[in-house]
A and B are shown apart, each in its own frame.
Chain A
Amino acid sequence: MWRKLLSLNTRYIYLAIVVMVVIPVVLKVPLPTSPSEPTQKLFDHIDTLEAGDGIWFFLDTRPATTAIHRPQLHVLLHHCFSKGIKVVGFNPLAPEATGMGRPFIQEIAAQYGKQEYTDWAYMGYTPAGLAIFSAMSKDIKGLYSQDVTGKAFDEIPVLQQFRKYSDVGLVITLAGLKTPGYWVKYAQTPYKFPFASGVTGPMIADQFPFLNAGQMVGMMGGILGAAEYEGLLKKNNIRKQFGIASASMFVQTVVHYILVAIIILANIATFIINNQDKKDRQARAEARAKADSGIE
């Protein structure tokens, strides 16, 4: 049996991976998560907003982290659109993200029948660098003359309501870069508005000082944060099913655990077989010795 394990055809491993990935993704099998405190706080904050309020989100990220920020943005949008909250997106600090934002919103907006320009808008990149932090406290019209589709600023109704920090109920940055620190330092501290972040796994540890100081109302940490948020959406009957984040968290956990398990099993197998071989060899040597002596 041990020998069979060691000479396992790699195709079975591939098949196992396909099964382990496809089934949970199709059935949206969730990883049972208990929401961590930052995620719960973020959810609670958005839950207190009312229909007609607005949030701004900032994609401070690169396409490489799409796999993390797409689910994060999706859970936020589900929450917002189901409550009638309006959404405006930007990526002034990360030019590479220009192409990412609008399709992400479109996917969810279609499900809730929300219209571009009246319920949401995506503004894209503007080359102002860190100057946006102060500019946005006054009026975003100074930064953007048109949105990412080329529609003029004045023709977009949703923008007329939400023109500065104090107009919106939450500013959230989905960051793959080191921007949450800048946001807290240059924008939240001087202008005082509800601020939150969604970050990648390695960045989570850096956010706790801001959370503890109350500079962030909440945080979504990595794909796990998105999964927790999906759990909260389900629990509060906002969405009927879990999304891709919960499913991929489940998949990740299963794949990692099974991988570790088979690595350890294979090592045990090697150890046992080596011992057996050693014994066999000894036995054979003894037998040969006996046989030799017998001949003599």
Chain B
Amino acid sequence: MEIVSLWVIAFFSLCIFSYLYRNNPFYKFAIHVILGLMVGYMFLQQVTIGLEQLVVSPILEELGRPSPDAPDILIQRVLPLLVASLIFTIFVPERRWLSRIPIGLLLGYGMGYMLTKSLEADVFKQLNATLTQSITAISGDSIFRSRWPAWGQFLPGLSALTVIGLTIFYRFRMQHPTIRTIIYIALSLFICSLADSIMILVGVLTVLSYFFFSFERRGLVEEVSRVGLVFMMVYFGAVFGNTVLTRIQIFIGQVDFLIFKWLGGTWQALFRG
């Protein structure tokens, strides 16, 4: 039995991997097997058992009791079932609009829930974290300074000098992109050698201003939002690069399985078992 399951797993894995070459009948077969299985699973799990547990079983139970609590069961079970079944009116073209009622209830529920939750969990919490960090560490810690003490000593001075020097130069060559870039880099070096929390604050504010919709991106707004874009690009690049390792490790695990468990296991079963 174990050999059979090894072969089944290996077969479906190889079918999926074959898509890397191109779409082929093996892949289509494997995908449609899974599709059929999962639709059946969802049907069982969500529809049959869901209906039975949410509606049929409680109603029968309630009716079987000495004094059935009729209004409760009407509001909690029968009415929602009627409303939910309005969704089937999509098959009746003239009454199709009725299906919007259960959908509307569902969406209203979700969005009402989301509004308070995202305000509380994302907006308030994230703003709070940024502010707390900035307040407690205005003269605070910097990975730059603490881990590279030698550089940390002269980095602020160096980058400040660069900024000042180039800004004077910048006045004469307003549109030169390279100089602007150097100023950005020097400025950010200066800031990040001061304190990480200030860097984070600057990052949050500039990225937020990247998303202003009601100002034309010109002048200061453009400069600031470009800095925000750089912050985002640093984040995206780092996230992307950091993910490569784990994804490849998963593929190594898969190869390990296929070669040693599947082929090795079969070999053992055939010739030694």
Q: Do chains A and B touch in the complex (CB under 8 A)?
A: yes
- Are A11 and B21 neighbours in the complex by a CB distance under 8 Å? yes
Which one of B21, B246, B259 contacts A22 once the chains associate, using CB atoms below 8 Å?
Answer: B259
- Are A256 and B244 neighbours in the complex by a CB distance under 8 Å? yes
Task: Given the known inter-chain contacts A22-B259, A256-B245, A259-B244, please indicate yes or no for A244 contacting B21, CB distance below 8 A.
Answer: no
Residues of A within 8 A of B172 (CB): none
B27-69 to A contact mask, C-beta < 8 Å, 1/0: 0000000000000000000000000000000000000000000
- The yes or no answer to B1 lying at the interface (CB within 8 A) is no
Residues of A within 8 A of B253 (CB): 66-67
Which one of B246, B248, B259 contacts A251 once the chains associate, using CB atoms below 8 Å?
Answer: B248
- Are B255 and A255 neighbours in the complex by a CB distance under 8 Å? no
- The yes or no answer to B256 lying at the interface (CB within 8 A) is yes
Tell me the B234-262 residues at the A interface (CB within 8 Å): 244-246, 248-253, 255-256, 259
Q: Chain B residue with minimal CB distance to A244? A: B256
Which one of B20, B244, B252 contacts A67 once the chains associate, using CB atoms below 8 Å?
Answer: B252
Consensus secondary structure, chain B interface: helix
Q: Chain B residue with minimal CB distance to A22? A: B255
A258-274 to B contact mask, C-beta < 8 Å, 1/0: 01000000000000000
Residues of B within 8 A of A11 (CB): 20-21
Interface residues on A, range: 20 to 34
Residues of A within 8 A of B251 (CB): 17, 21
Tell me the A58-108 residues at the B interface (CB within 8 Å): 66-68
**Which B residues contact A (CB, under 8 angstroms)?**
20-21, 244-246, 248-253, 255-256, 259
Q: A66-B253, A247-B252 are in contact. List 18 more A-B contacts (CB 8 A).
A: A11-B21, A14-B20, A17-B251, A21-B251, A25-B255, A25-B259, A67-B246, A67-B249, A67-B252, A68-B249, A201-B245, A223-B249, A244-B256, A248-B249, A251-B252, A252-B245, A255-B244, A256-B245
**Which A residues contact B (CB, under 8 angstroms)?**
11, 14, 17, 21-22, 25-26, 66-68, 201, 223, 244, 247-248, 251-252, 255-256, 259
